[in-house]
Amino acid sequence: MDRVDWTSWRAVLFDLDGVVTPTAEVHMRAWSEMFNAFLTNDAPALPDAASADLSAYTEADYFAHVDGKPRYDGVRDFLTSRGITLPEGTSEDPGTELTVRGLGNRKNDALNAVLQRDGVTAFPGSVALLDQLRDLDVPLAVVSSSANAPAVLAAAGLTDRFRTVVDGSVAAELGLPGKPAPDTFVHAAEVLGAPVDACVVLEDAVSGVRAGAAGGFGLVIGVDRGAGSETLTAAGADLVVPDLADLVTREDAR
């Protein structure tokens, strides 16, 4: 693995779920429970059920259609892949409502329940890299499609490590398109006062890696938590590692 000289970069932009914290696993479980309940209990009664694919939602569906995207985009893209059409609805729809946004809110309810019950502990290798970058005084940001990012950071005790958090709520407020569009990463770089070509992007999702590549960022590092090294490289990652501990170097440690 090539060594990264962190002193040569102006800012580092972290995805959260699956990069800093293992909440990607919690998201995956919440998505699976929500979609499989929908496919079993709700979808058979829909008008287009006869022509739709109602087979079980799988991990492959998560990586292909949901991972790294804003929540409602993930719902919409998965439903499209199965030939299912639902009304868009509104962001205020309850989880019982059979709309795109209702299903997204149903998933969010499940995620919040798990976070409150179990909490979250950051990956040790990610904390080690955060420690090193703090010692080097490199400005850091979290760029997450999830609106739960502040709650996850608080649960993990990492809120004070990042100068800005650009999450799903911020993106919606500013009208920024989500990943794989680069806009949320670009906004984070602007807040930190760093040009994009002097920033590092750390991502585990294909959509996030594509966002980093599309934005012209100086270095896009894929973190392989299950998407696959070849897949992340094909999406535009300059370097792929299995864990952020591999990016901590004895030479740079302070």
Active site residues per annotation: 15, 17
Helices (H) and strands (E) in the chain, counts: 10, 6
- Among 24, 151, 41, smallest CA distance to 95 is for 41
Which stretches within 7-99 are classed as H helix?
23-37, 59-61, 71-81
Greatest C-alpha distance within the chain: 62
AA letter at 246: D
Output DSSP code: residue 166. E
User: Tokens 């087979």 correspond to what residue?
Assistant: 55
Q: Which two tokens stand for residue 132?
A: 């090193």
Peptide bond into 180 cis (omega under 30): yes
Query: Does residue 159 sit in helix, strand or coil?
Result: helix
DSSP conformational letter for 82: T
